[in-house]
Structure 1
Amino acid sequence: MTKKIAAGNWKMNGLVSDLSDILDIDRQIEGLECTTVICLPATLLYASDGDPRQRVEIGGQYCHPAASGAHTGDISAPMLADAGATWCITGHSERRTDRNETDADVRAQTEAVWAAGMTAILCIGETLAQREAGETLAVLTAQLAGSLPEGATADNTVLAYEPVWAIGTGKVASPEQVAEVHDALRAQVGADMSLLYGGSVKAANAAEIFALANVNGGLVGGASLKAADFVPIVQALAAS
């Protein structure tokens, strides 16, 4: 059965003092039937590893494809796993844009995540110009073909659709737009892999998004930073 997954991405936010919000989330989601993940900055992973969490799982936001080496400032998948991560985001649009990461880079990172025994949250998404040009499905199909390694399964990979134009902008794809993409992705990856929507997901719109047939959860940015904002999203997913 396809897993329901509420994944938070703290991006470049958070100090050790902010980890109390993860414990608040953990307490408040007791009894909810869905997987909850928070992808933290690398500086917070080890600090969170000893927390008395029972429900919230922890992930990284990026990994270098190599397991080790002369890559100053980078972090490897084995390092993330050693610090307590069991998940890692690959292909987020901010890294594709800010760091010029290609589909080939994302594929290599995803393979590294698997090799370290973690689950990859692989992101794909189109820009506003591509959406307006009617190229959305073609762009996503190409990204998926280039980024998703052979051997991807529902156990080692979650796919996140994040329209670039809806990330951090307050804009949200319409239910019809989300459904069109997720239905197309479902046809490509099969029945079991979880498909997440990411793009300004909030408590106010979560229930409508999660009610769509092929949406199995969300990749949530700013609304995952505080328990008061994130818990209602997890609750909406569990109730869907």
Structure 2
Amino acid sequence: MKHIYLNLKRFDVPREYGGVNSLAPLNKWAETIIESTQKKLNKYKNSDVEFVQFYPELHLLEAVKALDSDSLIKIGSQGVYRDDVEIGKNFGALTTNLPAAILSELGCKYTLIGHCEERNDIRGIIEASGKTDEDAISIILNKEILAAQERDIKVLYCIGENNNQQTEWQNVLYNQIYFGLKGANKSDVVLAYEPIWSIGPGKQPADKEYITKVAKFIKKEFGDIDIVYGGGLKQDNASMLASIDEISGGLIALTRFQGDIGFYPDEYLEIIDLYLN
């Protein structure tokens, strides 16, 4: 199966506040994205491909409500808390946190866990205590994965090495997967590989040879788990990524990186067509 994921990050923030949203007012933003994409994706109805869109928590209910009954789009959250509501125990004393129970009730089918931005956040908290522990980050993320799977929510689990870790990328990725997926049902997990060292303005993107090498290593160590490219599926790399047998899709974020940068539904659809065709 092919997987096309969309991480909408905080692209809902209007430009006047420093964000990239000129697409729609905040209360219509998710609805606009769904309505601009779902019918046009119907041409892939008989294809072995799934489309998942990850929304900020504010927009999850609106996104689910905007889905047609036969929509190919699945809605996902951008995270989940490591503890959940439990009958006879925790009734919901989880202020500021997003339990898997409410995601399930909303109709979310997926959650995004371990994105480099989430890893950086956890890393910063650990380092504030004067410690450094990379494995602890993945152990915390493992609790999120298990909480999601208890509610039958599938997981896109992000892994990747940063600049300081590139010389030992095999150990870094192995430990992120080993500790992150411990006790998890791997058949309901897709890995998103983020070469963090190559992402961002002025950086040299990871090439086909490097991505292929990494994907082959992961499959050799952990079996035939689906891997997508999490470093940004774009117009300029869609054909290259489609040519890698070990890669089963990609994670789209921004669609325009110059001028009026931002997310544009028509460009999102163009990227999908370039990759799948």
On whether the aligned pair clears a TM of 0.5, the verdict is yes
* Offset at residue 206 of structure 1 (A): 1.0
Q: 1:21 and 2:33 equivalent?
A: yes
The match for 2:8 is 10
The share of aligned pairs that are identical, in percent, is 25
Q: CA RMSD in A?
A: 1.8
Rounded to whole Å, the distance in 2 between the matches of 1:89 and 1:45 is: 13
**Contact 1:170/1:200, CA 8 A, preserved across alignment:** no
Match in the other structure for 1:40: 55
Deviations 1:74-125 (A, max 9, x none): 1111111222210001111101102337111111100011011110001110
Separation (CA, whole Å) in 1 of partners of 2:201 and 2:93: 37
> Secondary structure at 1:38's aligned position in 2?
strand
Higher Cα radius of gyration: 2
Q: How many residues align?
A: 233
1:105 to 136, 140, 150: 140
Q: Which is further off, 169-178 or 181-190?
A: 169-178
The CA distance in 1 between the partners of 2:104 and 2:202, in whole Å, is 33
* Contact in 2 for aligned 1:9/1:39 (Cα 8 Å): yes
Q: Tell me what 1:74 maps to.
A: 97
Distance change in 2, residues 1:96/1:83 (3 Å):
same
SS in 1 for 2:217: helix
More relative contact order, 1 or 2 (CA 8 Å, 6+ apart): 1
What is the distance in 1 between the residues matched to 2:62 and 2:232?
A: 28
Range that drifts further, 117-126 or 45-54: 45-54
| Normalised TM-score (structure 2) | 0.79
TM-score (norm. length: structure 1): 0.90
1:152 CA drift (Å): 2.4
Bigger shift: residues 56-65 or 170-179: 170-179
Q: Distance in 2 between matches of 1:189 and 1:210?
A: 22
Unaligned runs of 5+ in 1: none
Contact in 2 for aligned 1:65/1:109 (Cα 8 Å): yes
- Which consecutive segments of 4 or more residues in structure 1 shift more than 6 A? none
Amino acid at match of 2:95: T
Partners of 2:226 and 2:156 lie apart in 1 by 10
Q: CA deviation at 1:23?
A: 1.9
Q: Verify: 1:141 aligned to 2:184, yes or no.
A: no
